[in-house]
Chain A
């Protein structure tokens, strides 16, 4: 668990982070979202002490981050930055092995760990181990950057706009991959982004920051339904809110008995997909199928429209 208690940061008299307190539970993905200058990156960088707080306390698993030298603290925490920051003079394998080498692992153990991570990130070790970063595509470089951050199996991973340099299609895939790997490794992730879609897609909880303050720290659904301030609402984009709401609702919870024609929709998808499909094919109701393909009932257009309304 990470406890951030009344943390502030001033640069030359300007308050960049203003009395922020929040708790991050183990195994959670917390996304800090805000516009540029909101203090989100400063807050992130105070966790691994790339920036030292002016006031307040940050503790990881109960231990104050000031209790160990900064470089030792950072070796326990994964760190991924925008534009990956790979070392251009070192091979992919050497890049991934950076932190284990700093920690003094044996060569054989580093090699085994490097290969394991490359496989996890769908990079064939034999093919990529000895290549230089410049020989890789943008998406591959980004994956190496994340693999490098995870090399020493840190319990906490900090990510600063990790997908910012990727084009939209590769970005979506990278986000899905990250989520899948996080579910598997149970790593706690704190991720900074300016993209609300990314925050809603990835975050278990989202902290919305503006001018150094955390305006709201809550689940994506509650942020969409009950934005704490007008600014949070604006950040969400008012025209998209009903659809974001539907994207939190699995079809499974809204199946009813009754007739429906045409191709079935999977119960694991959300009401947003059902709405799209119903509108596009001109149907009032869609048959719902479970994982084995058995029809369990139907979901109606009316249900989707009703669920898109702001809860009272």
Chain B
């Protein structure tokens, strides 16, 4: 009976054989092509003219790019191998990136330094469609940690190459960047310092506190509840609450002001981020230690390990993946939260966001927001890979 396979096909029907995510991608593609691709303005704050895909790009570029996007979307629609889907979606994203550069070039009047061409809804929608396809393909490939980090490195390298090539120089965000290149890198440094410095402090303090909570159950509830309460204070309120005590410390403790401790600036920002970071680190340390199998503990004691040896050779290594998960949460959270530090003069990418909001200049907002999101995303990918590498039986 050779009927079986064809019968199933017949029941499945044409739409049954389509990839569900592919359908979504195709819909996004159609929508993305229909709404404006780029937005051009005479200067950075006046309302602009929205330009659809085929008007934004010269025909010689629009046709091949549209063809490429449609071909990739078709690949997404049919059930194709994950490796091919990944490659195709990355090519589509690359094509879009180049398309944006060409559009910005074409829409900017020659020699005009104040005109702005910004990506519009259509561009973002198309990026979303093919990013979805890429992340779905990566998930389907079940890549091991190292290849995942390799892929991230390739994407980062590609973005850096585009930036260095000058392809996007006419895009509005980079025009803002060109005006503030020095400030950008200074704030980037401050941003990373805020996120990593508070994380380092929270790790150095939080892990011992977590170990203490594990050893002394009576302390556990008190400490975790206090940190939970800190976590519920809105960030702006916490910055505000810290101004008075830190101003007092800066004014009255000798040497404190020399270290930069003052009511506003980087010190309260750092302290607030540190306080927010403590809960995930402490809670995950406690959870990780609680998850150490009782029999392993008992065996370690029975074989003559001292308390210190047991902690270093059994408890912490077994709890490490969970602690690292806490550190991952903190890092991604801090990279985002550090933007708010700008409100109290703490610096970081938030400076551009708040300046941009104040001047209703969306390009300036993006100059602060896009690097923040990219940094958080990269940190998440890298630390997820580390967590997996640290988990016994998975990383090997």
Residue from B304, B318, B392, B393 in contact with A74 in the complex, judged by beta carbons closer than 8 Å: B304
CB contacts (< 8 Å) of A156 on chain B: these are: none
Closest partner residue, chain B, to A95 (CB atom): B299
* Chain A residues numbered 165-207 whose CB sits less than 8 Å from any CB in chain B: none
CB contacts (< 8 Å) of A135 on chain B: these are: 393
CA separation between A35 and B293, bound complex, in Å?
A: 25
CA separation between A145 and B305, bound complex, in Å?
A: 16
Contact A71 B306 (CB under 8 A): yes
Any A CB within 8 A of the CB of B79: no
Contact B392 A88 (CB under 8 A): yes
Contact A85 B393 (CB under 8 A): no
A84-B295, A85-B296, A88-B296 known; A102-B303 Cβ under 8 A: yes
CB contacts (< 8 Å) of B295 on chain A: these are: 81-85
CB contacts (< 8 Å) of B304 on chain A: these are: 70-76, 99, 102
Contact A89 B318 (CB under 8 A): yes
CB contacts (< 8 Å) of A84 on chain B: these are: 295, 299
CB contacts (< 8 Å) of B20 on chain A: these are: none
A74-B304, A87-B314, A88-B318 known; A81-B396 Cβ under 8 A: no
Residue-wise interface mask of A (123-143) relative to B, using a CB-CB cutoff of 8 A (1 in contact, 0 not): 000000000101100000000
A79-B299, A102-B303 known; A85-B392 Cβ under 8 A: no
| Shortest Cβ gap from B146 to chain A (Å) | 19
CA separation between A79 and B304, bound complex, in Å?
A: 10
| Shortest Cβ gap from A142 to chain B (Å) | 12
CB contacts (< 8 Å) of B305 on chain A: these are: 71, 102
CA separation between A38 and B312, bound complex, in Å?
A: 35
Contact B302 A88 (CB under 8 A): no
Residue-wise interface mask of B (277-303) relative to A, using a CB-CB cutoff of 8 A (1 in contact, 0 not): 000000000000000010110111111
Residue-wise interface mask of B (120-140) relative to A, using a CB-CB cutoff of 8 A (1 in contact, 0 not): 000000000000000000000
CB contacts (< 8 Å) of B12 on chain A: these are: none
Please tell me the size bucket of the interface on B: 10 to 19
Closest partner residue, chain B, to A89 (CB atom): B392
CB contacts (< 8 Å) of B55 on chain A: these are: none
CA separation between A83 and B318, bound complex, in Å?
A: 18
A88-B318, A132-B393 known; A81-B306 Cβ under 8 A: no
CB contacts (< 8 Å) of B293 on chain A: these are: 85, 88
* Chain B residues numbered 305-332 whose CB sits less than 8 Å from any CB in chain A: 305-306, 309, 314, 317-318
Residue-wise interface mask of A (53-94) relative to B, using a CB-CB cutoff of 8 A (1 in contact, 0 not): 000000000000000001111111001011111111100000
CA separation between A148 and B303, bound complex, in Å?
A: 9
CA separation between A75 and B296, bound complex, in Å?
A: 16
CA separation between A135 and B394, bound complex, in Å?
A: 12
Closest partner residue, chain A, to B314 (CB atom): A87
Closest partner residue, chain A, to B306 (CB atom): A71
CB contacts (< 8 Å) of B314 on chain A: these are: 87
CA separation between A98 and B303, bound complex, in Å?
A: 8
* Chain B residues numbered 42-68 whose CB sits less than 8 Å from any CB in chain A: none
| Shortest Cβ gap from B336 to chain A (Å) | 32
* Chain B residues numbered 349-396 whose CB sits less than 8 Å from any CB in chain A: 392-393, 396
Residues on B lying within 8 angstroms of A by beta carbon are 293, 295-296, 298-306, 309, 314, 317-318, 392-393, 396
Residues on A lying within 8 angstroms of B by beta carbon are 48, 50, 70-76, 79, 81-89, 98-99, 102, 132, 134-135, 145, 148-149, 158
24 A–B contacts, CB within 8 A, in A order: A48-B302, A50-B298, A50-B302, A74-B304, A79-B299, A81-B295, A81-B298, A83-B295, A84-B299, A85-B296, A87-B299, A87-B314, A89-B392, A98-B303, A99-B303, A102-B305, A102-B309, A132-B392, A132-B396, A134-B392, A134-B393, A135-B393, A145-B299, A148-B303
User: Which A-B residue pairs are the 6 nearest by beta carbons?
Assistant: A85-B299, A74-B304, A79-B302, A75-B304, A85-B295, A89-B392
